[in-house]
Structure 1
Amino acid sequence: MSDSAARQEVAAVVVAAGKGLRVGGDLPKQYRRVGGRAVLTRTLAALADSPRIGRIQPVIAPDAADFFSECVAELEPAHREKLAEPVPGGATRQQSVAAGLEGLARIGAPDLVLVHDAARPFVDEALIARAVAAGAEHGAAVPGVAVSDTIKLVEELSPGIGRVHETPAREALRAVQTPQSFRFGPLRDAHRRAVAEGRDGFTDDGALAEWAGLSVVVFEGDARNRKITQAADLIEADRAFSGQTFADGPPAISEGPMTTYVTRLGTGFDVHAFTEGDHVWLGGIRIPADRGVLAHSDGDVALHALTDALLGAIADGDIGTHFPPSDETWRGASSDRFLAHACSLVRAQGGKIDHLDITVLAEAPRIGAHREAIRARISEIAGVPLTAVSIKATTTEKLGFVGRAEGLAAQAAATVRLPEVEVDTGSETAERRS
């Protein structure tokens, strides 16, 4: 990276407001899943993973807030920290980019802005680095790849029929991609001018910048940086991403089978005896009480049961396997670390957490006043929507150790989806989880 590029504050606008229905079905392509994660989740993660990008401004359809929230919930916490609040897009791509630029301006204009399509999840750090360097040096730069097919300029005679009137030399042609890189001020001014003059319909910001009189250069793109447009693109992306994580970078096209998913249900149970103290931890929330609990860690029965439920769903031992009580490292440890670890193991297998359900069994303390705080905390730790977390409480009608107020317990259930592929073993076919 050049010295000039290193000094730039860089932000990205991710255009995700389109309907994207050419891939088929009713769900926009940016919210369809490839290799177990939404296309938009993968795109945001790739950009947020770049140390060159400080902020990301998503632009989404006004009615897509729930879809977007699900995508964000699957991101790593460090990636989520780079996201600005999404802004609503417009009826055209040009209007959506303009909305994203104005959103960035409100929270502090960067020096450089990268404009990237949500449907290009294969973007990698090398391409981002080239974009930042080219934008810093030239002010307006777009990635392009050489065209291998001969291109004809035609005059339409009738639907599906056109007369050739020029064959440009393909050596001078480039297929343009995103991310496109610009100095922020000139690009925002160009968009504002286009609005003022009633110009709409530019299909990329390079073309708009050219119209506004900016000098636009083309830097080396990446043939792997494909845009998902048709159903076949979605199928190829699913094959490419299947069994890989964000850390793997842009995968090559695979000839392997399509990913299918199976729903797994795991359950967990935990119990702790009361001892002297003035509080208990439940669901990551410190609740005042007339006694504490006897435990190696913080004794959060709700998070312990939930951790075991997730580990059970992926058949990966139990909480004691991963955090043995004989290890002094975990003495007094906060149980949110256990739950976060279990969630990361689910996602490492390409899985999605669908629902978390907990029942606390205790005569005291009462959790009603803390219910929403517990749900919110678990939602935060697990990286799932609030609607995917349920917490309930019950007594045991004075029966057993709970009824005698000798301790408290929790049971939990976790529903996850895991990718599965078929593996041909030669004489027979076996299933494995990818």
Structure 2
Amino acid sequence: MTVSLADLTDRMLAAARRAGADAADAVAVDGTALSIDVRDGRLEQAERSEGVDIGLRVLMGRRQAVVSSSDARDATIETMAERAVAMAREAPEDPHAGLADPAQLARDTDSSRLEMYDPSPEPDPGALEEDARRVEAAARGVEGVTQVQGATAGYGHRRIHMAASNGFSGGYERSDRAISCVAVSGSGTGMERDWDGDSRIFQADLKNPEEIGRLAGERAVARQKPRRPRTGKYPVLFDERISSSLIGHLLAAANGAAIARGSSWLLGREGSQVLPSGLSLIEEPHRPRASGSRLFDGEGLPTAERAVVEDGVLTGWILDLATARKLGLTSTGNAARGTSAPPSPSVTNLRLTQGAASREDLIAQMGTGLLVTSMIGSTINPNTGDYSRGASGFWVEKGEILHPVNECTIAGNLRDMLMTLVPANDARTHLSRIVPSLLVDGLTLAGD
């Protein structure tokens, strides 16, 4: 029998009232996850998980506490509420904690138009195994591939419901279907690996397993016999697979929590230019069939499309209620909420302005430099924007790819890097973050 998540959240709120809470909000999540791994044409691992998680936040004046559990029995909920209230009484006072005013709450909570859930039947484990076999066989069929390290197909389905003592109640469903493959070329110390994968809400949109396997294999083979690049300053082209990480650093610096702590290299830059003119970064929480879509945030406030950066200019911060109150501003409807922690600011779907040039055009334009296809490690100074990351990819000379590259470090400062961005036109539009390949000028490479 399917558990009513709305009933679960109502039971938690009632328990909080009985325990003496001044105010409370509750989250209930249930889900199913199924994953099938194949190796050497045989089933290697099959995992299935099902469960319900619940979380309760109580407020005693401006003191708050959060408790969570995977047990939804009445006795457990009563105990949770009593413990939460006892914890809140001992918690330090936070003048910015509190629920939304009822007038702020979202009225439209029917998320069906966002198409976040595929109503098709859950795939049979045998169908997932067949997808994993097909993706592995396709990768093995690429000349030069010596082994397939991972061939996986999976499915997930989640239901989420939130309710609060201020009158908010709303929920939605999400589903996803995924296939991925990690291929290896060479042997011994000459082994190189790469991957490809796809994840969609609707199974009908999923890429063909043969295409995924072939691309994973070709990428692994292309990485054979890498060299270290010359040390110096060069243009760097961040491939579309990893370019969103650059935008992620900008978003982290614009997050209200970092601004409220005073630990962001964007402090004092609101209303200033942070990207080249002509580039905008748009948040699109209502985009259909995108994994980050939502009509309301983790505090029940309505979401809306907005420009985080407009024509290169930073318009403001990414805020939930608490950070907005601390900064003397208004929430941007960006609260995210799990079952075990209070809300915090987070973005939904994003779209960066695409350029007119293809990735190949930018490779030709860069002359001599580095095309980065994967990154490891990260040293980002949140206060200064100093940037240093390990990278691998391909060396470019005279606008042509010459050979693979590994064991190098890219360094620069995010303020300068973001101001030189030149976008390609190759972003995949089904992703939550639509970010094309990005050319950045004048980065320091540490190699030979």
Alignment TM-score > 0.5, same fold:
no
Choose 1 or 2 for highest CA Rg. 1
Structure having the higher strand fraction is 2
Return the TM-score normalized by structure 2. 0.21
More helix by share: 1
Q: State the TM-score, normalized to the length of structure 1.
A: 0.22
